[in-house]
Structure 1
């Protein structure tokens, strides 16, 4: 065999970091050793894997073609290493989740996964839908859990479970005692919403189609808790996933507003890179997701 797993590991680390120094640091190698490994790999096969753009290394067209195969091979090697080390049934796992899922659902799932696989390291990153999808595409995350609809030819997008958004306000807001509100009342309200690019905002925009040009978007915030706090201060009306608001509704800190003229139901999705090796860890996580699908 004319290449080594270490050479492939260096190639993938540079592809992800876009920088030789950072990749070497992540692999606990010297910069010269990492550079030598990459140079040897390129020389042995007379191939240019990266284009040098200033201090940044960007995958060449050939590098982009080879990366998925290298990712799969390293995934299989990691699985074998785990089996040789301790017979673990699941290896390292990197999960990404959007804010509502990450803060109110995924943490519980991670806890259960850790109890089932105590020797398997797992990380959870929480970002909006666009960032999670981008990181899955870049092989930085094994599985993404997203709220928004997303399409990409390299992603396997699996419907997971149902969810529902709900409109809410402060107990002191003029709509608090309305029970049900009309489209006219929705257009007259001031809104505090998630930012563009989030799955929650995408679902809100879809549900309010036809009303959006007339709606007053007073604030756009990136965090669910910030939106809830702003609505509690009676700065406007909000719309978030029902699972993020249960405590506030029970305590009376916030009031749910019914919107019978608007469908606020949506689906949550799991996303994986189509060309990523399905490791034992990924399979174990997908099994857990099936258990949490309702």
Structure 2
């Protein structure tokens, strides 16, 4: 005989994600006392506490961290059952809404996600996406901690327990202001390694996928980069480069409009063309729900076909 209920699992997951029974109660439309009572019953049924208290916040302990992925999987499976039978009972009725928490690194969140979300809205209007934009390391951490259902990153992920799948190729290009000394020099001939090595570079902060990919692509050829400034936004870097403050290596997706508008120029070089992969990140071992499967499919369709 089961001693656990799906409602208890739902409440546990809400507390784990919000950090308190008060916040979880607001999300679920319950009283705080009912939420606390259900959580206590779950812990009694399992024979172990699932949280520790840090100040006024509830923080998952080792047992809670072990239970959370299974709890989320159960809730996703229950939601899938509801969706399937709702569709059978009323084929013409809109499907029940599903919320999907997605974390994306900056360039993807700004330049790729709008098209991707539009595609998903057309094919699966019942899926509502809550989007968090951060750098690659923070996105991987959010997926690892189950604060995000899926992550989209620009660089490699070195975290344990993560499944990484390449899905879209992006070109990295070197840019400068049209009147920058290197831009003027490049009109006569492509820039070689010594010229690039002597330049002042504007780069993203450590932990950024763009920073990691730029260093991975350029350092084997240049040995070192003279970094004059680091900024937390690739778009800010592009604007600073357009003002003549240095050169940079950025996503073509990001700079193309500025190049078309004459604010930036692409620097021809003797280096090979630079590419990086955008990747999907999921928690290893977590069953793929219908909503996450639909999101992954939209990503793959965007990479391989027209919108």
Q: Give the TM-score of the pair, scaled to structure 1.
A: 0.92
- 2-structure distance, mates of 1:91, 1:274: 22
- 2-structure distance, mates of 1:90, 1:10: 19
Q: Which structure 1 residue ranges, 5 or more long, are not aligned?
A: none
Give the structure 2 partner of residue 192 of structure 1: 202
Partners of 1:83 and 1:89 within 8 A in 2: no
Give the structure 2 partner of residue 232 of structure 1: 242
- 2-structure distance, mates of 1:120, 1:57: 29
Q: How does 1:1-294 map to 2 (within 5 A)?
A: 1-85=2-86, 88=95, 91-177=98-184, 178-179=186-187, 180-209=190-219, 214-261=224-271, 264-294=274-304
The secondary structure found in structure 2 opposite 1:252 is coil
Partners of 2:196 and 2:222 within 8 A in 1: no
How far is the alpha carbon of 1:92 from its aligned partner?
2.7
- 1-structure distance, mates of 2:134, 2:19: 21
- 2-structure distance, mates of 1:54, 1:143: 30
The secondary structure found in structure 1 opposite 2:109 is helix
Q: Deviations over 1:159-193 (max 9, x none)?
A: 11221111101111111131521222222211111
- 2-structure distance, mates of 1:187, 1:28: 59
The secondary structure found in structure 2 opposite 1:268 is strand
Higher mean displacement: 162-171 or 271-280: 271-280
Partners of 2:103 and 2:133 within 8 A in 1: yes
Q: Deviations over 1:91-121 (max 9, x none)?
A: 3322222111111111101011101122322
How far is the alpha carbon of 1:86 from its aligned partner?
5.3
Residues 61/255 of structure 1: CA separation in 2 closer, same or farther (3 Å cut): same
The secondary structure found in structure 2 opposite 1:292 is helix
Partners of 1:82 and 1:91 within 8 A in 2: no
Q: Give the TM-score of the pair, scaled to structure 2.
A: 0.88
The secondary structure found in structure 2 opposite 1:208 is helix
Aligned length: 294
